Amino acid sequence: MNQNPVVRLAEAFQNKQPAVMATVIEVKGASPAKVGAQIILLSDGTTVGTVGGGKLESSILADAQAALSEGQPRLAHYALTEEGPHAIGTLCGGEVRVFILPFLPPPQLIIVGGGHIGRPLKAMGEIAGFEVIVVDVEPGRADIPDLDAAKLTAESFVVLITTDHISDEAAMRQVISSPVRYIGMIGSRHKCKTILDHLKADGITADSLQRVYAPIGLNLGGPSPEEIAVAILAEVIAVRRGASIAKRSV
């Protein structure tokens, strides 16, 4: 594995692995860090490079982990003193400024059903910055044939819009216990309630079922496939960004 920080960051990005780069941009006085020094922190805790070691590097990595969790860059200041603002508990006496920049893979939009709604939803999802994966038994409109081939993570958003309730329920059973951020299912209130009742009867907890958005999408009123796709994507984005929305329930 390459130990050059910049190359390792590029590898992580290519492999869709979250990472954060910390770069020393200013040094005043005595310090083990040099301007331009860089360290990469990967999501599994692996580090590549160094920014001087010791308490300074530990402090920088703690801030890097916070930036990775929040998904936001930050400019950090460290005083290499035992006391005072930004002190890290060392005696060097210098000051260091570090720019910390997280690199996060795009969120994953998994569309189960590549039909008349799935097609415009795929196009819109890609424009909105999602990595879109369409699951369908028909090869001509699918990226993968079934959910077994999908890697479901905490940054996955799953949309169930197949052509029949049996397929939707089967897919729901696969994703309901996964760590995905969003599960939405299309259909009438009666259909959605029936499927959720089946899962409840089979022991799926109420807390797990509360994660499901069904019927799917914000109530925008549009009846066309394209308008329904907009309503679905709008709900997905709202959940991703933590916006307050009125969740429809069955």
pLDDT tens, residue by residue, 14-71: 888 899 999 999 999 988 889 999 999 998 899 999 998 899 999 999 999 999 988 8
Please give the tally of structural domains in the chain. Answer: 2
Tell me: do 27 and 133 sit in the same domain. no
Tell me: do 172 and 199 sit in the same domain. yes
The residue range of the domain holding 175 is: 108-241
Residue 245's pLDDT is: 81
Tell me: do 88 and 129 sit in the same domain. no
Tell me: do 237 and 170 sit in the same domain. yes
Q: What is the pTM of this model?
A: 0.76
- Contact present, 20 and 67 (Cβ < 8 Å): yes
* Alpha carbon of residue 11 to chain centroid: 18
Average pLDDT over residues 119-146: 89
- Alpha carbon distance 162, 149 (integer Å): 17
Residue 7's pLDDT is: 87
Tell me: do 40 and 151 sit in the same domain. no
Listed in sequence order, the residues at least 6 apart from 160 whose beta carbon sits closer than 8 Å to its beta carbon are 112, 113, 168, 171, 172, 175, 183, 184, 185, 186, 216
Residue 248's pLDDT is: 66
The answer to the question of residue 249 being in a domain is no
Tell me: do 115 and 177 sit in the same domain. yes
Average pLDDT over residues 79-94: 86
pLDDT at 2 over 70: no
Say which residue, 70 or 77, is predicted with more confidence: 77
pLDDT at 1 over 50: no
Tell me: do 230 and 164 sit in the same domain. yes
